[in-house]
Amino acid sequence: MRLKNKIALISGASSGIGRSTAKLFAREGAKIVVNYFSSKKQAESVANEIKKIGSEALLVKCDVSKPSQVKSMVQQVLGKFNSIDILVNNAGVLLPKSFDEITDANWQKTMNTNLLGTYNCIRVVSRQMKKQKSGKIINLSSIASIVGSLSSLPYSISKAGIDAITKTLAPELGKYNIQINSVAPGPVKTDLLVKNYSQEVIKKLAKETPLGRIAKPDDIARAILFFASQDSDYITGQTLIVDGGRIRR
């Protein structure tokens, strides 16, 4: 088991990539903190699946855009497990709007959840990791940070900001044996994708991908596992593109 007895906090773990990552980590021996904001029923389902695998799960409701809630969440985690070995910043939103249709509310919600949420979690969790002198932080970026989004300027900017956080913090956190990296998926078959794009668009995206299909959440979860494991101990400040070959550089 690659993550035996590790404590992993996964934001937005109730569905999609977060859900797949939580279950994969549990199969690799980790104890999972299942963070959610609105989908309690889905989060409970994830926790139950983790328990069936044979691992432990702690369910914590938290809006990651609120610093006070993040602080409370981390206190709950430390109260139960005494440490946090892995942080996966997965919580995010995509609110498709053309440039002329973007509202202040649309902009703020995207930035607050995607970018500020990532920052808030790193800020609090890294304090504990510094005390431990070890830790793995994996941020969910997107190829939209490189080539732009199909439908949301704020989304692209928020993901580019996440890559900037990853690169900027790597030297500072490296002094404490903490590795921080990003995973940048292409299109992934999640509720978020199905909700925001038509089947015609999704089929087109699959056809344009060299591997001939849209990613499954498990495809991204395995890349996250790489960065969470000892296999990546000498890698930090990097963004790994996982997009079936859409971007080649």
Q: Select the more confidently predicted residue: 142 or 149.
A: 142
pLDDT at 235: 98
Q: What CATH superfamily is the domain 7-186+217-242?
A: NAD(P)-binding Rossmann-like Domain (3.40.50.720)
What digits encode the pLDDT tens for the residues 215-246?
999 999 999 999 999 999 999 999 999 999 99
Q: How confident is the model at residue 190 (pLDDT cuts 50, 70, 90)?
A: confident
Percent of the chain exceeding pLDDT 70 equals 100
Catalytic residue among 155, 176, 197, 234: 155
DSSP states along the chain:
-TTTT-EEEETTTTSHHHHHHHHHHHHTT-EEEEEESS-HHHHHHHHHHHHHHT--EEEEE--TT-HHHHHHHHHHHHHHHS---EEEE---------GGG--HHHHHHHIIIIIIHHHHHHHHHHHHHHHHT-EEEEEE--THHHH--SS-HHHHHHHHHHHHHHHHHHHHHHTTTEEEEEEEE--B-SHHHHHHS-HHHHHHHHHHSTTSSPBPHHHHHHHHHHHHSGGGTT--S-EEEESTTSS--
Mean pLDDT over residues 36-52, rounded?
96
What digits encode the pLDDT tens for the residues 174-185?
999 999 999 999
pLDDT at 199: 87
Threshold 0.75, pTM exceeds: yes
Q: How confident is the model at residue 192 (pLDDT cuts 50, 70, 90)?
A: confident
234 catalytic? Reply is no
